[in-house]
Structure 1
Amino acid sequence: MKLALLDIGSTAARLEIVDLGRSRMPRADWSVKARTRLAERTGVDGVVDERGVELAVRAVQHCVRAAADQRPDTLVAFGTSAVRDATNGARLREELSEAAGVRIGVLSPRDEAAVTYHAARRWHARCGQPMTTVDIGGGTIDVATGLDLEPTDVVSLPFGAVRLTRQYLPDDPPSPEQVDELVDAVRRTIPRSLSRFAETDLGHPVALSKVLRQLAVLTESTPDRLARHPDRLSRAKLRPWIPRLAELDQAQRAALPGVSRSRARRILAGAIVAELILRTIGVDELEICPWGLREGLVFRFAEAHGEAGGDVRELMTTLFR
């Protein structure tokens, strides 16, 4: 069964085709990507402006049309927090659904955290031992822990890097007062909400999300060497980068090792939150996991395909809102 999985995110729409019956790994046989620019077209009030809706629709249309020649059996389309949490999200989903030709689903923050945890556990390939995942997305931060394929404890907080940047860091570069306000806001909530993780056996701590991967490249690189594929993110190496990032504008950050132009604005908020999370839960470093939400969904649909003889529609109904 050829599954087409369309992920509509804050910076891009990406459609991947995976043969569920042939591969035991969540690797795409074919993929296409188009920019949505949802993050930069969403205002402080959470409304995606008309141009943003138009660009996202075009991105979805491009991906779906390009995939038509691949003749997928099923198209599953979902939006991340950029779609789910938009003030005009209902209208946005309606427009995107029409563009895709299928209903655009969304995951609840907790379900999204559980699916990404599932992907990390599959990647680590060792159940029965504690594992903890840290994920900094655009809209939320998620910490999950457990012993097997499903987490036993999940905390999801509305402190994603895009959301914090939009709310607290409107200037480029931000003023010291804006940075201080962001730091004060997350310090009031994150330690209280995550403190219980410091009192448990977290086992193997794992980092998910592109923001954390880019921070790992940044902090592990030297003037003479680019760390293209670092295997971990160190809190000690991250901490001194925060004041440096705060002094730079978007263009200057995008020139740093590992920092993409599309995430240059949000990388400061991501760094501040990452350092605070690690300090709160008592972790010195995170191992970088290359898998995430898309891979977790592929595993879920592959399991449903195997159990239901090819019918994944029931999982689509129960998983997505």
Structure 2
Amino acid sequence: MLDIGSAAARLDIVDLASPRMPRATWSVKSRTHLAEHTLADGRVTEEGFAEAERAVRRCVRAAADKPVEALIAYGTSAVRDASNGARLRKHLGRAAGVRIGVLTPRDEAAVAYHAARRWHGHDDEPMTTVDIGGGTVDVATGTGVDPRRVVTLPHGAARLTRQFLLDDPPTPRQLDELRRELAGTIPPALRRVRTGYPLALSKVLRQLAVLTESEPGAVARRPQRLRRDRLADWIPRLAELDHQQRAKLPGISRSRGKRILAGAIVAEVLLDSLDLPELEICPWGLRQGLVYRFLEARTRTRADALDLVGTLFD
């Protein structure tokens, strides 16, 4: 399974014969830098094309001697929402040797929710998932294996950084404009959402949890929750730093040093709007959800599994 995102391309070889949750038996990752090479109008630059293609080729070549049943390749919002995304998918498809699919924002949120339900268990208990990606923010709620309601907004951390936080570190005016935008869109969109057990799915939220749960001299490697009060304390500190300084903080990766501030502000607004004091960190998400979907179809026939890929992806 090849995942092409705003920061990296990642290829996992998954053992579908595992009696428990199918896990990657081999994995490789290569930086795409798509976020850095996407302009404010959503267009990926020619340099961005070249870097993303190289990343995909590195992953595919590294796996060339691995026996696989099928290669499923998909792009997340960085590929889907690019204004020249159709051309980008063609280039990446040639580099991968297979068609690059994309999920709609709603389908992406639903598949990630499905994975979170599998991880959390407790069928029929109300559950809410919160996912802050590069291009979108997704909130899904339900009581079964699939969500009953999905709210998806174009407020991903990378997109907001490009649109609002133009300086590094941003100016107070830029921060105010970002907060006004979020205050005018997120609370109304979530007004009718009835929350259940709250789970955080994205890398942005996991990295914020590491940051906010760490203490001087003791990094919280696997934090269990992201707490609203600790997040609120950190946002002014993040706003004073540039992206290189943020990337030196506990848990913050170099690829997310620039967007983590926007992600933190969005997370705070989401928690306030949903009236949640904290989110439990869920290690599963879209990738695991797609594996489960493929595996469920494969229990019928291999053709069913491959048909599912065509049905899921545009």
TM-score (norm 1): 0.96
Q: Tell me the amino acid that sits aligned with residue 8 of structure 2.
A: A
SS of the residue corresponding to residue 206 of structure 1 reads strand
Separation of aligned partners in 2, 1:129 and 1:184? 34
1:72 is aligned to 2:78: no
Aligned to 1:274: 267
Separation of aligned partners in 2, 1:54 and 1:85? 18
Aligned to 1:142: 138
Aligned to 1:306: 299
Report the identity percentage. Answer: 65
**Alignment check: 8 A CA contact 1:21 1:302 kept:** no
Q: Tell me the amino acid that sits aligned with residue 148 of structure 2.
A: T
Aligned to 1:31: 27
Q: Tell me the amino acid that sits aligned with residue 308 of structure 1.
A: T
Aligned to 1:86: 82
Q: CA RMSD in A?
A: 1.0
Aligned to 2:284: 291
SS of the residue corresponding to residue 191 of structure 1 reads helix
**Alignment check: 8 A CA contact 1:218 1:257 kept:** yes
Correspondences of 1:92-241 after superposition (within 5 Å): 92-197=88-193, 200=194, 202-241=195-234
Separation of aligned partners in 2, 1:15 and 1:270? 25
**Alignment check: 8 A CA contact 2:44 2:82 kept:** yes
- The 1:309–1:44 alpha-carbon spacing in structure 2 relative to 1, beyond 3 Å, is closer
Separation of aligned partners in 2, 1:101 and 1:311? 22
Q: Tell me the amino acid that sits aligned with residue 70 of structure 2.
A: T
**Alignment check: 8 A CA contact 1:217 1:229 kept:** yes
Separation of aligned partners in 2, 1:178 and 1:23? 51
Count of paired positions = 314
**Alignment check: 8 A CA contact 2:76 2:103 kept:** yes
- Cα deviation for residue 224 of structure 1 reads 2.8
Separation of aligned partners in 1, 2:67 and 2:32? 24
SS of the residue corresponding to residue 74 of structure 1 reads coil
- Cα deviation for residue 310 of structure 1 reads 6.0
Unmatched tracts of structure 1, length 5 or more? none
- Cα deviation for residue 307 of structure 1 reads 2.1
SS of the residue corresponding to residue 123 of structure 1 reads helix
Q: Which runs of 4+ in 1 moved over 4 A?
A: none
Deviations 1:130-150 (A, max 9, x none): 010000000000000111110
1:319 is aligned to 2:312: yes
Deviations 1:271-301 (A, max 9, x none): 1010111111111100000111101101111
1:49 is aligned to 2:45: yes
SS of the residue corresponding to residue 69 of structure 1 reads coil
- Cα deviation for residue 309 of structure 1 reads 4.7
Separation of aligned partners in 2, 1:251 and 1:68? 35
SS of the residue corresponding to residue 199 of structure 2 reads strand
Deviations 1:80-137 (A, max 9, x none): 0000000110110000011111110000000000010001000002211101000000
- Cα deviation for residue 36 of structure 1 reads 0.4
Separation of aligned partners in 2, 1:31 and 1:218? 26
SS of the residue corresponding to residue 245 of structure 2 reads helix
SS of the residue corresponding to residue 212 of structure 1 reads helix
**Alignment check: 8 A CA contact 1:79 1:106 kept:** yes
Deviations 1:261-280 (A, max 9, x none): 11011111001010111111
Aligned to 1:8: 4
- Cα deviation for residue 45 of structure 1 reads 1.3
SS of the residue corresponding to residue 267 of structure 2 reads helix
**Alignment check: 8 A CA contact 1:20 1:305 kept:** no
Separation of aligned partners in 1, 2:53 and 2:288? 24
Deviations 1:203-237 (A, max 9, x none): 21000100000000111011131111000000011
TM-score (norm 2): 0.98
SS of the residue corresponding to residue 65 of structure 2 reads helix
1:261 is aligned to 2:257: no
- Cα deviation for residue 79 of structure 1 reads 0.2
Separation of aligned partners in 1, 2:302 and 2:269? 46
**Alignment check: 8 A CA contact 2:15 2:22 kept:** no
Q: Tell me the amino acid that sits aligned with residue 156 of structure 2.
A: G
Separation of aligned partners in 2, 1:307 and 1:180? 53
**Alignment check: 8 A CA contact 2:77 2:135 kept:** yes
- Cα deviation for residue 311 of structure 1 reads 4.2
Separation of aligned partners in 1, 2:286 and 2:14? 15
SS of the residue corresponding to residue 15 of structure 1 reads strand
